[in-house]
Amino acid sequence: MTMPTLLRSRATARPPVPGQTAPAHGPPLPLGTAVLILLAAACAPATVDDQGPPAAVAVTNATIIDGMGGTPITGGVVVAEGGRIVAVGLAAEVAVPDGAAIVDAAGGAVMPGLADMHVHMVGGWDGVSTEMLGYRRYLNALLHAGVTTVFDAGNVLPFIQQIQAEIEAGRLPGPRVYMAGPLIDGPVPIWPPITYFTFEASAIWRHATQLAAAGVDALKGYAGLDAEMVDSLVQAGADVGLPVIVDLGSRGDYAAAVEAGVLARAHAPSGPLGDDEIAAMVEHGTASITTLAVLESFARRRLDDLAFLEHPLIAATTPPWFLDALREHATRSLSDQEKERAAAIEELLMTAMTNVKRLSDAGVLVVAGTDAPYPGVFQGEGIHRELELLVEAGLTPLQAITAATRNAARLMDASDEWGAIAPGMAADLLVVRGNPAEDIGATRDIVAVIQRGVVLDRLQLVFSAQDDPGFRTVGSVAAN
């Protein structure tokens, strides 16, 4: 059974968002470069006052990275109109419409907006506490970093439903959201507030039916499910038209889950992985979401040098008190047990990297995701880190980018809608300095983010302590 075809393409029913620009909530920042000034002028027509369809926008003087792994085109132009890409090619071949807003890439690159296909948009910074009232911060952080699509892999159902619906309606700036809603776990859930728990197989069909009615995009099976229950979940999902993505923990029976027909593993395998298991994934079309960034977080590897917190994608979008808490977390002295645990997880990270390379080489659909937020894994910046880790794992930069563009869209059966630069596709674009096809770190050096044909005003997406209510995190979604 090839599960992806069962999945509805949410995005196709979605109208372009007119004049998508975040309401002003911060003091004007000094404009750092001439490029930004040009952009401010370029995006002037696209404001919340202008409710018409997005004007034409053209990215010029760019190396085009199509998101499908194609050979980059230097000296390229991408034209979008009405929220969709209408022309792609060499400057000599593509006519730029009169009156189009021009984003001059100045020899940099244009690529599809990035997708992070494993996030939990519940606020907080540590992966456990929540800060739902601060949703604007992380939606802004995602857009600011050029993330135009996310898959929320577990959340409080009505909360994520509303986030998705308001973004879809164009009333809330944010990336395109796919969602699992709550995890479906066994009788003793690991994350009670974001879980539907299951005492018996009959409950699984009821959960699947309810979640389908609620409009989720996939079911997320969790670690307390045994092989039989995973099988029931896949069957119930098929009945209601939903694929199943699983995180069965380190002791889960993934071979049975692959056999049952799950769409994807929510994390890259971080333990022993036989060639026969990889072959089974290829045979059944099972994808793997990567989430190397979260393993790096638990290994505390990234926390050895906190200089990365100065990166604008983090510093400009994160409440300072989150950064203070993270610094405290990173610098406190660890018990021997904690040190051993971190070292053990670093081994898992290395194994997961090896496995991602093997999966990619074998033809498994490898999809970038981060599991943000966790300590050191940020909404938005996290996917740029994931791309770097995928390259460290041995993928080429183009393969890594494709994992966060075309492959992400394929996971959601939406590759005819977004995730590539080609005529007809949604005009979600990331313009950067440098060439990420040669240096993956260049994806961070952002010139412009274009969402459905509108150049976003990224200065409006930065965090402003002056205007932020200062909400703090509460509670824990993890069971004690």
Nearest distance from C-beta of residue 293 to Zn ion, angstroms:
11
DSSP string over 18-74: TT--PPP-SPPPPP-SHHHHHHHHHTTT-STT--SPPPPEEEEEEEE--SSSPPPEE
CB-based contact 268:354 (threshold 8 Å): no
Give yes or no for residue 401 binding Zn ion (CB under 5 A): no
Stretch that binds Zn ion, among 51-59, 103-111, 146-154, 446-454 (CB under 5 A): 146-154
Nearest distance from C-beta of residue 154 to Zn ion, angstroms:
6
CB closer to Zn ion, 118 vs 444: 118
Cα separations (Å) of 376 from 298, 302, 325? Answer: 9, 7, 11
CB closer to Zn ion, 153 vs 429: 153
Number of residues that bind Zn ion (CB under 5 A): 2
Report the C-alpha gap between 209 and 6 in whole angstroms: 15
Nearest distance from C-beta of residue 184 to Zn ion, angstroms:
13
Task: Tell me the CB-side half-sphere exposure of residue 222, using CA atoms within 13 A.
Answer: 22
At 453, the amino acid letter reads: G
Stretch that binds Zn ion, among 4-12, 39-47, 150-158, 379-387 (CB under 5 A): 150-158
List the Cα angle 403/358/295 in 5-degree steps: 65
CB closer to Zn ion, 81 vs 371: 371
CB closer to Zn ion, 233 vs 454: 233
CB-based contact 43:51 (threshold 8 Å): no
Stretch that binds Zn ion, among 81-89, 106-114, 152-160, 238-246 (CB under 5 A): 152-160
Binding mask 5-44 toward Zn ion (x if CB under 5 A, else -) reads: ----------------------------------------
> Which residues 335-374 are close enough to bind Zn ion by CB under 5 A?
371
Which one of residues 57, 78, 79, 153 is an interface residue with Zn ion (CB under 5 A)? Answer: 153
Nearest distance from C-beta of residue 322 to Zn ion, angstroms:
19
Nearest distance from C-beta of residue 179 to Zn ion, angstroms:
12
Nearest distance from C-beta of residue 52 to Zn ion, angstroms:
39
CB closer to Zn ion, 66 vs 386: 386
Give yes or no for residue 152 binding Zn ion (CB under 5 A): no
Q: Which two tokens stand for residue 139?
A: 């939606």
User: CB nearest Zn ion: which residue?
Assistant: 371
CB closer to Zn ion, 102 vs 153: 153
Nearest distance from C-beta of residue 413 to Zn ion, angstroms:
21
> Which residues 378-397 are close enough to bind Zn ion by CB under 5 A?
none
CB closer to Zn ion, 112 vs 269: 269
Cα separations (Å) of 381 from 86, 147, 311, 387? Answer: 29, 9, 9, 10
Nearest to 374 by CA among 316, 326, 342, 339: 326
Q: What is the 3-state secondary structure (H, E, C) of 246-294?
A: ECCCCCCCHHHHHHHCCCEECCCCCCCCCHHHHHHHHHHCCEEECCHHH
Nearest distance from C-beta of residue 411 to Zn ion, angstroms:
15
CB closer to Zn ion, 120 vs 302: 120
CB closer to Zn ion, 151 vs 322: 151
CB closer to Zn ion, 153 vs 393: 153
Nearest distance from C-beta of residue 433 to Zn ion, angstroms:
32
CB-based contact 113:453 (threshold 8 Å): no
Neighbour tally for 332: CB within 10 Å? 8
In degrees and rounded to multiples of 5, residue 241 shows phi and psi of: 80, 30
Stretch that binds Zn ion, among 22-30, 54-62, 153-161, 199-207 (CB under 5 A): 153-161
Nearest distance from C-beta of residue 173 to Zn ion, angstroms:
24
Classify the C-alpha dihedral 116-122-125-126 as positive or negative: negative
Q: Binding residues for Zn ion, per CB under 5 A? A: 153, 371
